[in-house]
Amino acid sequence: MTRLTTSEFLIGILAIGYFAIVQPVPAVAQSIDETASVCAGCHGDKGVPIDKTIPNIWGQNRLYLLNQLHDFKVGHRKNEQMAPIVEPLSKTDIEALATYFSKKPWPDLQQPAASDDVKAKARAVLDSLNCRGCHQEHYQGDTARPRLAGQQDEYLTKTMTDFHAGDRKTYMGMVALMKSIDEADIKALGAYLAGFKIPGHP
Ligand code: HEC
Ligand code: HEC
């Protein structure tokens, strides 16, 4: 007969307690595919957003997606289109959506590489402010730090401008960094990062 150690026993009890708390029976059972089909209305059913100012969420880092959905839900990140979408979502829905979209392949948004002038301008900022220190070598991100490589150009520019203006305050580190650069730098960064290819990836 196998005997459980005290810690194994405790982990077992905690796991049972955790699932009992976070998995309430929904009033209307909806599959993750049904919930995600709502998202496709704007974020695209093949991962290509319907509008240039809408971000790609396919293949984005799970923890980052989770944080954003939570921040929209509590009003920490403000957006007219996302607010009514997250309003009815439970914590369990948000966790399931973050997992679902993080497992999808990042789409090729067919954005051109930036021109040499724009590259030079963007690289000067990226190196001096050490963006790769957090967003990683190929701007692929990590956990709560989002992937930037191949994200939509106009969305990147918009959201960096929001940090710059203090309209997006989800992370004060990003607000401070974006306040230290100007509009022309932000535009160059958007074009450079949108056209950046991670070796071996779309
Ligand atoms: C009516 C259009 C619309 C629908 C439907 C929609 N979104 Fe969005 N979503 C947006 C827009 C616009 C933004 C960009 C907000 C901004 O500029 O700050 C966004 C941003 C996001 C972000 C932040 C991404 C990033 O890179 O910061 C996440 C995550 C997200 N949406 C997830 C979802 C999920 C999950 C669903 C479905 C449950 C959904 N969205 C449905 C329009 C929509
Ligand atoms: C100290 C770590 C750190 C550094 C350095 C940093 N970032 Fe970030 N960045 C983050 C984090 C964390 C987030 C997610 C913020 C949130 O939760 O909303 C983020 C978010 C972003 C976003 C939003 C992406 C999206 O999908 O909405 C952009 C764009 C961005 N960073 C660009 C940059 C650029 C360009 C630089 C260099 C000038 C930079 N970052 C430097 C940590 C960092």
Task: Kindly report the protein residue whose alpha carbon is nearest to atom 41 of ligand 2.
Answer: 131
The reply, when asked if residue 39 is annotated as ligand binding, is: yes
The reply, when asked if residue 42 is annotated as ligand binding, is: yes
- For 168, which DSSP code? -
Ligand nearest to the CA of 72: 1
What's the pLDDT at 200?
Answer: 86
161 in any annotated domain:
yes
pTM reported for the whole predicted model: 0.89
What's the average model confidence in pLDDT over 96-104? 98
Number of folded domains that form the chain:
2
pLDDT digits (tens, 9 = 90+) for 120-160: 999 999 999 999 999 999 999 999 999 999 999 999 999 99
- Provide the strand spans (E) within 38-163: none
What's the pLDDT at 5?
Answer: 54
Residue 102 beta carbon below 6 angstroms from any ligand 1 atom? no
Task: Kindly report the protein residue whose alpha carbon is nearest to atom 39 of ligand 2.
Answer: 131
> Residue 9 corresponds to which tokens in the numbers above?
């026993």
Is residue 22 predicted with pLDDT exceeding 90? Answer: no
- Residue that is last in its domain, among 78, 102, 126: 102
What's the average model confidence in pLDDT over 72-83? 97
Residue 1 confidence class, pLDDT cut points 50, 70, 90: very low
Is residue 16 predicted with pLDDT exceeding 50? Answer: no
What's the pLDDT at 7?
Answer: 52
Ligand nearest to the CA of 69: 1
Give the 3-state secondary structure percentages of the chain, helix then strand then coil, rounded to 5. 55, 0, 45
CATH number at residue 43: 1.10.760.10
Is residue 15 predicted with pLDDT exceeding 90? Answer: no
- Residue that is last in its domain, among 102, 132, 155: 102
